[in-house]
Amino acid sequence: MKKWKSTGLYGIYSRMKVRNKIICSMYLVLLPILIISSTFVLYYNYQRAEQENRQLYQKLTMSVCNDISYLQKDVLDIATYVAVNDEMHQILKKRANAYEDNNLFWYTDTSISFLQDILSIKSETIKTLIIYPENGLKPFYQSRDTSVHNMDMAQIKELEIYQKALEANGDVVWGRVDAYEKGLYEKCRNNKLVACRVLWDLSKKKKLGFLAIGTDIRTYEEICRRMLQGSKEGIVVLGKNGEEYVRVGTIDEEELSWIQKQKTGGERAFDEGNPVCLRRENSYICYQQNDVTGIGVCYFIPKAEWNAKMKESLILPVCIILLTLAGSYPLSMLISRALSRPTAELCSTMEQFRNGDFTVQARINSEDEIGQLAATFNRAVSDIKQLIDKNYVIALRERESELDALQAQINPHFLYNVLDSFYWEAVGGGHDEIAEDILALSKLFRLLLSKGKSEIPIRMEIELITCYLQIQNMRFSKRVTYDIDMEEGMLEKPIGKLTLQPFVENAVVHGLEGCKEGGHVQVTGCRKDGRLLFVIEDNGIGMEQEEADRILSGDTRKETRSFMSGYAIHNIKERLVLRYGEDFSLTITSSVGKGTRVCLDIPEETGEENDGSGKEPERVQKI
């Protein structure tokens, strides 16, 4: 029995927190209701989306068909105008030699100029118009795209489209003529959809001529392309007998072949009056045919595209279901919080203690088991804190004792007295130059110690640099020269101790030490727009810029000749970050054989900190 309780769903439930048990119970009640309601909502939305999708594509198909029919209606009106115009009939009935001396008879004896005006207005769609007389007169030709018509009437009569027009007995027939296809044109510039009609006399007993009006297929393609909703959809414009006129987008050839068979076969799958939407094996097909022109428009939608739109329609009900689940969570939380609040507060207090807060105390709200557990925890925390405090004080005192012993070993008083003795001995022996060097060394040590202060005036930092350069000049036998130029108004501004000196030391030790003829170090400083600008330059041996960048970044993975100085400079940069954050700029530029330049830009601060002694002593003070 105990083994059964510790395994399976019961075991998982028994190990849950109280709050989670309440939430789980509520969800077990809500889940069946949500499943039933969500199933109904999804089914309803799917059916509605299916119907809306069909209506959308039927409207798009109808719109394409209507736009194309509107263009073709203009062509039919022009063809009717030519067929019934009395002036045209008079010319087409004349003998072949009636206008031997007049090559402009189309313009003088007819209202062809009115027809030309109409063609100009419709020039975006209608590109050519040809009238072939049966009596042998010169054909009339109007072109808007530089296409050239065929002048031979005998060849025209051999064309398939002429035979279809003849069979139509005065009705307009349509046909596609591809660019550069010979027949109706000697040279066809663009793909055209041509409307042809045989011209008869009023009794329809005698043929008078043949009319061909060419329209630009690109206009039809643009109409179709505007209506496409997806990259994988396609539209095909078909003739009355299934012949293809226009194609745009992606077309399933098997489905198109099936449609053309339906158009030419005995069985009809399409209602020619109203748009229909059929579901095929690979695609959904919407079709509409115009009763006047006979033009049919087929819209192909791949099933993948169709299903993707259906999935989009299901996003809203799924979101509603998820929101319902999410909305039930606050309710369960309110109920569970009232029952599990004491346990949760105790757990939170323990977590704070685990993260290092040794002053935390659990709140005791009751005298039950949870209250007793909280009281025991509070006593344990107090005991642990007392133990930690006791051990920390002991360790701190041991560290202080070690520090005192170390400071006693390097007591500066002894150093000052020794240097003072050396100074007076050098003065007494007439070695003034050595005495000045000893005095500089004494000042250097005093400034370095500076009574333990980490921040000093710029004046003291400059004095430290001067002492250091004086000592180095002695070391290098006067081969090192230096120049320090600081703006007067910035000397009392505070700066971190040893901010500039390490760069000067780096310039001397690593820039000038290898120069036999010596070198020069220049330190300059100025104030600008509330900031302090410092430049340390030398004309020493320099280094590669890559090496300078490694020194500044503290990267010592590659051994460099300035390896040790890299630590000091990197430490300066870290001190600047701690003091100024990101509000400073430190750059090092160098070139082999030309020297090194260090630029430091820090914000100007106000401060009165100095060594407290007023003016600096001129020599070592005896202690």
Contact criterion met (CB below 8 Å) for 601 and 531? yes
Give residue 286's identity as a one-letter amino acid code: C
Nearest residue to 185 (alpha-carbon basis) of 161, 203, 220: 161
Rounded to an integer, what distance in angstroms lies between the CA atom of residue 269 and that of residue 351?
74
Rounded to an integer, what distance in angstroms lies between the CA atom of residue 225 and that of residue 67?
12
Question: Is residue 350 one of the residues assigned to a domain?
Answer: yes
Rounded to an integer, what distance in angstroms lies between the CA atom of residue 130 and that of residue 150?
9
Rounded to an integer, what distance in angstroms lies between the CA atom of residue 571 and that of residue 575?
6
Confidence grade of residue 603 (pLDDT, cut at 50, 70, 90)? very high
**Mean pLDDT for the stretch of residues 144-159:** 88
Q: Which residues contact 492 (CB under 8 A, 6 or more apart)?
A: 457, 458, 459, 608, 610
Q: What is the DSSP string of 348-386?
A: HHHHHHHTT-TT-------SSHHHHHHHHHHHHHHHHHH
**Mean pLDDT for the stretch of residues 122-138:** 88
pLDDT at site 308: 79
Rounded to an integer, what distance in angstroms lies between the CA atom of residue 321 and that of residue 36?
11
Range of the domain at 530: 472-603
Rounded to an integer, what distance in angstroms lies between the CA atom of residue 244 and that of residue 417?
113
Shared-domain flag, residues 387 and 506: no
Question: Is residue 545 one of the residues assigned to a domain?
Answer: yes
Shared-domain flag, residues 476 and 405: no
Instruction: Please give the residue that has the higher pLDDT: either 187 or 349.
Output: 187
pLDDT digits (tens, 9 = 90+) for 59-116: 998 999 999 988 889 899 999 988 888 888 888 888 777 776 677 888 888 888 888 8
**Angle 412-428/432-449 helices, nearest 10 degrees?**
160
Shared-domain flag, residues 385 and 495: no
**595-603 and 531-538: which strand pairing?**
antiparallel
Is the pLDDT at 264 greater than 90, yes or no? no
pLDDT digits (tens, 9 = 90+) for 219-235: 999 999 999 988 889 99
Phi then psi dihedrals of residue 104, to 5 deg = -110, 30
Strand order through the sheet with 595-603: 480-486, 519-528, 531-538, 595-603, 585-591
Shared-domain flag, residues 478 and 599: yes
Shared-domain flag, residues 494 and 391: no
CA separation (Å) from 521 to 20, 475, 482?
A: 74, 15, 5
Question: Is residue 440 one of the residues assigned to a domain?
Answer: no
Last residue of a domain, one of 186, 220, 254: 220
Domain of residue 214, CATH code: 3.30.450.20
Rounded to an integer, what distance in angstroms lies between the CA atom of residue 206 and that of residue 137?
16
pLDDT over 90 for what percent of the chain?
16
Domain of residue 490, CATH code: 3.30.565.10
Is the pLDDT at 419 greater than 70, yes or no? no
What is the number of residues in the chain? 623
Confidence grade of residue 337 (pLDDT, cut at 50, 70, 90)? low
**455-457 and 480-486: which strand pairing?**
unpaired
Shared-domain flag, residues 386 and 478: no
Question: Is residue 563 one of the residues assigned to a domain?
Answer: yes
440-449: long-range contacts (C-beta < 8 A, 24 or more apart)? 440/466, 440/467, 440/470, 440/471, 441/467, 441/471, 442/416, 442/619, 442/620, 443/467, 443/616, 443/617, 443/620, 444/468, 444/471, 445/412, 445/415, 445/416, 445/419, 446/412, 446/416, 448/497, 448/498, 449/412
Shared-domain flag, residues 116 and 187: yes
Nearest residue to 138 (alpha-carbon basis) of 107, 172, 180, 174: 107
Question: Is residue 585 one of the residues assigned to a domain?
Answer: yes
Question: Is residue 161 one of the residues assigned to a domain?
Answer: yes
Q: CB atoms < 10 A from the CB of 57, how many? A: 23
Domain count, the chain: 3
pLDDT at site 596: 92
Helix boundaries (H) for 215-270: 217-227, 253-264
Rounded to an integer, what distance in angstroms lies between the CA atom of residue 103 and that of residue 345?
109
Is the pLDDT at 471 greater than 90, yes or no? no
pLDDT digits (tens, 9 = 90+) for 498-545: 888 888 888 888 877 767 677 889 999 999 988 999 999 998 888 888
Question: What's the mean pLDDT when you consider all of the chain?
Answer: 78
Q: CB atoms < 10 A from the CB of 12, how many? A: 10
**480-486 and 519-528: which strand pairing?**
parallel
Helix boundaries (H) for 410-500: 412-428, 432-449, 458-475
Question: Is residue 497 one of the residues assigned to a domain?
Answer: yes
Q: Which residues pair with 603 in a beta bridge?
A: 531
Last residue of a domain, one of 354, 383, 409: 409
Return the structure tokens found at 412: 């500066």
Is the pLDDT at 123 greater than 90, yes or no? no
Shared-domain flag, residues 490 and 397: no
> Which pTM does this prediction carry?
0.48
pLDDT at site 552: 80
Shared-domain flag, residues 592 and 477: yes
pLDDT at site 484: 92
Confidence grade of residue 615 (pLDDT, cut at 50, 70, 90)? very low
pLDDT at site 537: 93
CA separation (Å) from 621 to 212, 293, 463?
A: 121, 119, 17
Last residue of a domain, one of 360, 379, 409: 409
Shared-domain flag, residues 99 and 182: yes
pLDDT at site 394: 54
Confidence grade of residue 2 (pLDDT, cut at 50, 70, 90)? very low
Is the pLDDT at 153 greater than 70, yes or no? yes
Question: Is residue 450 one of the residues assigned to a domain?
Answer: no
Shared-domain flag, residues 498 and 390: no
**Mean pLDDT for the stretch of residues 473-501:** 85
pLDDT at site 430: 65
pLDDT at site 374: 77
Shared-domain flag, residues 377 and 487: no
pLDDT at site 406: 45
